[in-house]
Amino acid sequence: MDTVDTLSGPFEGFHLAQVNIGRLVAPLHDPAVADFTKNLGRINAQGKDMPGFVWLLEGDDPELGASDVAWPGDPETIVNLTVWTSIGALRDFVFSGEHRALLARRKEFFQPQPVAVATMWWIPAGHVPTVQEAHDRLAHFREHGATAYAFSFQRRFAPEA
């Protein structure tokens, strides 16, 4: 499968799932991560209002995203799992506005990780990815690098029909 040279889209019949994970430098309600937690609900709401947004994994408190959803094998890891109509729609959210500003501060809030903490993959439109599915895709990305099964903004793939 050839990599996609452009961020245009969408691809008919497909949506883009993405996961990113992290371990906070302090417990969720600690003042050391207060700037992260107090902005999480607002940033997620902005994402939901973006063109191309489809779905967001949420836990019991929408203001805290999915921070109470367990990541397989590591209960200290928090997960962000979303679905978008295209790579371009995801890119437009991730790298703009308040999300970009908060993303630039991630080293204040998250422990450094020696492995990839994010990946994306194509799903049939209407499919809702599970946390286990996201875990498996990220594990594949860590082991094999970017492939059509799991990839990154730096090396993207079109969906396989």
| pLDDT value at 3 more than 60 | no
Retrieve residue 4's tokens: 């996609």
Using 50, 70 and 90 to split pLDDT, how confident is the model at 1? very low
For residue 51, cis peptide bond before it (omega within 30 degrees of 0): no
Domain positions in the chain: 14-144
The CATH architecture to which 14-144 belongs is 2-Layer Sandwich (3.30)
Does the pTM of the predicted model rise above 0.75? yes
CA dihedral 98, 103, 105, 111 (to 10 degrees): 150
Hey, what amino acid is at 151? Answer: F
Residue count of the chain: 161
- Give the count of beta carbons closer than 10 Å to the beta carbon of residue 134: 25
CA distance 45 to 83: 14
DSSP 107: H
CA distance 7 to 161: 18
Residue pointed to by tokens 């094999």: 144
Encode pLDDT of 27-83 as tens digits.
988 999 999 999 998 999 999 999 999 999 998 887 888 888 989 999 889 999 999
